[in-house]
Structure 1
Amino acid sequence: MKDNTKIRVATFAGGCFWCTEAVFKRLNGVKEVVSGYTGGNVENPTYREICTGTTGHAEAVQITYDPTIIRFEELMEIFFVTHDPTSLNRQGNDVGTQYRSAIFYSDNWQKERAEELIAILDADKVFKNKIVTEVVPLEVFYKAENEHQDYYDSNRKQPYCQFIINPKIGHLKKYYQHKLKTPDVSI
């Protein structure tokens, strides 16, 4: 039987979950990335419902990872450099509370690490503006519909993937090549 005691889960919202999923699934030590919805007040929301901005949910990803290979702090670092954590309720042209930046922590340890990193990044003025990323408890995570899972890998020729996600993957390759599972020569 496999020992799962080393497996942990991190939940991040950084705009469109297609983008966030595409970034994190390429990292060594990441076992699975699931796109979904969290932080809202409607049970079992659909994509169509959350797009109205009335359910309170954020598009998010739940990352299952091995902390002996990649640490939570490293996941957060990559999270902060692959989206704009200073933009309130938007990422680029995606606008609304469903696109907010958030770390949904599952325990006090994750909460403390997230708050510490945000304080350091703000104190060091890493970003031009103050970070608006929410650090909030994870309550319920709802898996998104199947067509939203592995979206980038299934739709690379789609314009959104080419113009929005490809640059994020390029940034990841440029600065975190040593953290990638295998070379991805498609972009």
Structure 2
Amino acid sequence: MDKKKIILAATGASGTIYAVSLAKELGKHKNIELHLIISDAALKVMELETGFKPTDLTDHADSVYQQNLISGPPASGSWQHDGMIICPCSMSSLAAIANGMGSNLIHRAADVSLKERRKLILLTRETPLSLIHLRNMETITLAGGTIMPASPGFYHIPETISDLADHMTGRILEQLSIPHDLYTRWGENSWR
């Protein structure tokens, strides 16, 4: 059985806990080949807002690329994959992708995903949103991408911050038709 190739890119938005949760979960699946692209800003944000180390991401990946490796395999439409997630996605990356600015590997791989009609999911992490942000989200949606604001639900009765991150990870995996048991779905728990 062929492995699913999934690209996970982390940008400099707040919320690297989401990227770590997603990398761990994708790394558990033996039928997934994980390709990781990390921006310099993502590494800096991870250092500032969490106790995570870069290895908390890279240890779960089959291949790791730096943002400046514009010749990396995900930059080409002939390199096939089964989905790309930008998690978290900064507003500057959102703008670059919405406007076709492929100046680094993350932006180029996202552009390729759109032009090849492959799954592209952007876990955006900003609030409040300006009209510019909303228009960029509209542009990407019209081009075939999926915008998922980092807005975890609470119906699964989370007890920790990790529970909230895992909820978003589960929602992303559902977009890629990847099974998980990260949380109890709506209607599956006993209501008080």
Answer whether TM exceeds 0.5 for this pair: no
Tell me the TM-score normalized by structure 2: 0.36
Q: Greater strand share, 1 or 2?
A: 1
User: RCO (CA 8 Å, sep 6+): is it higher in 1 or 2?
Assistant: 1
